[in-house]
Amino acid sequence: MPEDWENALVLAAHPDDVEFGSAGAVAVWTHKGHTVSYLLATRGEAGIDAVPPAEAARIREAEQREAARRVGVRDVEFLDHPDGAVRADERLRADLVAALRRHRPQLVVVFNHHERTGTGRWNAPDHREFGRCALDAVADAGNRWIRPEAGEPWSVKYLAVANSPAPTHAVDISTGLDAAVASLEAHETYLQGLGYTRQAVRPAVAGQAQATGVRFGGVPAVAFELIPC
């Protein structure tokens, strides 16, 4: 992955998307002095079967902020779109354009927008809708005649898709693996709802990183699909 950038904005639909996709890379980047911010479409209120949405939103926001802190991210923003019903509509696109012009990132990381995940499974509707809208918003943000009310135009230098089924680049997370594990562990209530034990987190994160590393240099890695801007 290129590293000639200073700040990045990571876009995702739900709390935990970053931790299941790219937290190890974020830990490496912040340790090297890059500034990384998170922007999430929802608070994940529909994500825990045994917890009512209002309470789940409060819990998951707190867990996401702690997860971010563990990889060196302080700025976490939520757009409050409905969990499970994210749509690539004008409201979301406008929110994302405004955020891009406000944060002015050189690197944007987007969670996988493809129909399938990197493991071949069918991707969640929120991920597909949000990801595609985010890609469109990156294009819009650089055009001063589109949504001029959202601020001065901003052109992103690099656009990277996490958890893509067609990765092209990778980040060595040998020095960020422990932080990535800790970051996912912060989603304690959510993981319990999925049936994960704390003991299962490290093998899951390390196993995915090692499997990715087989393709990209033999070191624990997080892979991205780099899209030209």
- Tell me the pLDDT tens digit for each residue of 190-220: 999 999 888 999 999 999 999 999 999 899 9
**Which positions ≥6 away from 4 have C-beta within 8 Å?**
none
Closest CA to 119 of 10, 220, 21, 16: 21
- Tell me the pLDDT tens digit for each residue of 167-192: 999 999 999 999 999 999 999 999 99
- The tokens describing 121, both together, are 């499974």
Closest CA to 140 of 92, 178, 183: 92
Q: How far apart are CA 156 and CA 180, in angstroms?
A: 26
Q: With bands split at pLDDT 50, 70 and 90, how would you rate the model's confidence at 21? A: confident
Q: How far apart are CA 143 and CA 222, in angstroms?
A: 31
User: For residue 6, how far is the Cα from the chain centroid?
Assistant: 18
- Tell me the pLDDT tens digit for each residue of 32-75: 999 999 999 999 999 999 999 999 999 999 999 999 999 999 99
Domains of the chain: 7-227 (3.40.50.10320)
Q: How far apart are CA 229 and CA 215, in angstroms?
A: 25
pTM of the model: 0.96
The sign one gets for the Cα dihedral 229, 119, 77, 92 is: positive
